Amino acid sequence: MNENSPPQPNSVERVQRNMLAALERRLLNFLCRQLPPWVTPDTLTGFGMAGSLAIFAGYVGSNVSPAWLWLTLAGFVIQWFGDSLDGSLARYRHIERPSYGYFVDHSCDGLTTLLILGGMGLSPYVRLDVALIALAGYLLLSVHAFLYARVGGQLKLTFLAAGPTELRFVLIGLTAAMMLLGASPGLFGKVSGFDLFVGTIGSILILLFVVHTMGTARDLAKVDRRP
């Protein structure tokens, strides 16, 4: 491999310093010990994607009845179980496939994000344009993480001490609030409190992308400074 070749996925260090990381790791290790042999990482990946589809269906179905949001809540649990355990199980059983796992896992993450925020934008609770702002912010931050894995050898999974698990808790709380408060626009006319919340989160994600991109570019300029 020459000096211009990108680092291989198995050489990329995963950086995860979110608030729940240690507790979640203990839980995942326990679950890995309980899973029967017929459950494979690919099985769990498929299970996680089924959860993502359930989230989407629940949000879209809430146009008919708020009771559909129970499906969304169940989908978040299913999606966490499959998405968090597939790589953990592969490492626990020492059957990692670094390139395949890296590619499939993050491809599924992108599709899951589309299903979650697209479904939310098609629900009666959040405007589609606001949901797309949040989608753009999340995908931009993902782009930064993947680019930094190439130039810095680290895959950063945590921003502002929060990672995917903390974000799921936020979305679960938001969905529960939808069930309790309903789809009324409230005090902001056509823009609901849910719109403001989701739009603010999306704006923060975009701002984080800009700040981290500028900081990384500044650091790389020092390293690559020409003589």
Q: CA 49, CA 99: separation in Å to the nearest integer?
A: 20
- Cβ atoms < 10 Å from Cβ of 174: 16
- The count of residues in the chain is 227
For 84-106, write each residue's pLDDT tens digit: 888 889 988 889 888 888 889 88
The pLDDT of residue 129 is: 93
Instruction: Express each pLDDT in 110-126 by its tens digit.
Output: 999 999 999 999 999 99
CA–CA separation, 113 vs 129, rounded Å?
A: 15
- Residue 43 falls in which region: left (phi positive, over 0), alpha (psi -120 to 50) or beta: alpha
Q: Check: CB of residue 32 under 8 Å from CB of residue 92.
A: yes
Q: How far is it, in rounded angstroms, from Cα 91 to Cα 149?
A: 20
Encode pLDDT of 16-69 as tens digits. Answer: 566 666 787 888 888 999 999 999 999 999 999 999 999 999 999 999 999 999
Higher pLDDT, 34 or 188: 34
pTM (two decimals): 0.85
Neighbours of 224 (CB within 10 A): 8
Q: Residue 9 pLDDT more than 70? A: no
Please report the domains of the chain, with CATH numbers, ordered by start residue.
9-223 (1.20.120.1760)
Sign (positive or negative) of CA dihedral 90, 100, 21, 131: negative
pLDDT band per the 50, 70, 90 thresholds, residue 192: confident
136, 206 in Cβ contact below 8 A? yes
